[in-house]
Amino acid sequence: MTSDDVKTVACPVCRGPLTFDGTFSGGELARGRLQCRGCTRDWSVQDGLAHLFDEAQVRGLDRFMRFLYDHLAILHDPAVRFLLPLLQGSSEQALRDAYMSRLCLQRLRPPASGQPLRILEVGVGAGANLPLLERDLPKDLHVELWGVDLSFGMMEQCRGRLAQHSGRRVRLLMADAHALPFADASFDRVFHVGGIAGYRDPRRGLAEMARVARPGTPIVVVDEQLDRHRAHGFYERLAFRTLTFYDSAPAAPIAHLPAGATDVDEEQVSRFYYCLSFRVPKTARTRRARPARRARPERRVATSIQNPT
């Protein structure tokens, strides 16, 4: 992130504006702290990454899943590229193309304000979707790409990918999907792939995606669900159960969508994955309640290790 990018982020606790105190490298934040001008809380910046999440909220299985991601991150892309197609019988590219079309990127137009368009991927992982955004976005649009994740190991894989990336600059942050560090209505597209079934509170995660999205913009969520309209043999069922060890019955979280969600559309995009898209108009937008410091978690926050991002 640059000093200008700091204007887009916000305190994940009170959503107040942040200021940076620290050192830069090549114009990017390198090391220091982001201080909230509202609640005065500090958030560290280490090795060029802002850590905008409350570590106290990462506990139990959350911490275990992050441990797996951090230490197995180097195996993530090869597993998705080679193992997943063998298990579900369709290619990684076909799966990604199916959900990328839901973002309707070709319909984006420059805003009258002259400000850049912004796209957020929640759970950016190793960054496999970033080249697809570059492929599908109109070349002449001024678009900022943002990605957040809770795993430092996956962020390192993503930064390695971006070192060979020749497209738009990508802003990366360490953040918890349950408390996104952005102001309301900050993004023109918001999407998430491969982890919401493992959130401790999927309703809150979806509400946060809706909160940071501009009114009426597509919000796209993809995760595991066994295709209910296909026959599955013992091999497919065993493979799916192995992939989804973190959830006994993973399914599209339609029941957890924000009140007033419109254009709700769910489809199975492969044997093991659904794609859910929706919009939240301005009149139906819900604001996130400030969480209690010691609130008991309802479900898991970490993403599945089979996340195809």
pLDDT, tens digit (0-9, with 9 covering 90-100), for 202-240: 999 999 999 999 999 999 999 999 999 999 999 999 999
Length of the chain in residues, anyone?
Answer: 309
Each residue's pLDDT tens digit, 54-83: 999 887 667 777 888 888 888 888 888 898
Strand order in the sheet with 18-25: 18-25, 28-36, 42-46, 49-52, 170-175, 143-149, 117-122, 189-193, 219-224, 273-279, 262-268
Question: Looking at residues 24-29, what average pLDDT do you find?
Answer: 95
pTM: 0.90
Domain 53-284 belongs to what architecture? Answer: 3-Layer(aba) Sandwich (3.40)
Q: Please, is 300 exposed, middle or buried when counting C-beta atoms within 10 Å of its C-beta (0-12, 13-18, 19+)?
A: buried
Other C-beta atoms lying within 10 Å of the C-beta of residue 54: 16
Measured between alpha carbons, how far is 162 from 154 in angstroms, rounded to an integer? 12
Whole-number pLDDT of residue 246: 82
Compute the distance between CA of residue 144 and CA of residue 169 in angstroms, rounded to an integer. Answer: 7
Read off the pLDDT of residues 263-304 as tens digits, 9 standing for 90 and up: 999 999 999 999 999 999 987 665 544 443 433 333 333 333
- Residue extents of the structural domains in the chain: 1-48, 53-284
Q: Residue 152: is its pLDDT beyond 50?
A: yes
CATH of domain 1-48: 2.20.25
- Encoded tokens for 49: 């990454």
Q: What percent of the chain has pLDDT over 70?
A: 91
Greater pLDDT, 173 or 59: 173
309: pLDDT confidence band, cut at 50, 70 and 90?
A: low
178 contacts 205 by C-beta, under 8 angstroms? yes
Longest Cα pair distance anywhere in the chain, in angstroms? 58
End-to-end CA, the chain: 21
The whole-number pLDDT of residue 308 equals 66
- Residue 17 reports pLDDT greater than 70: yes
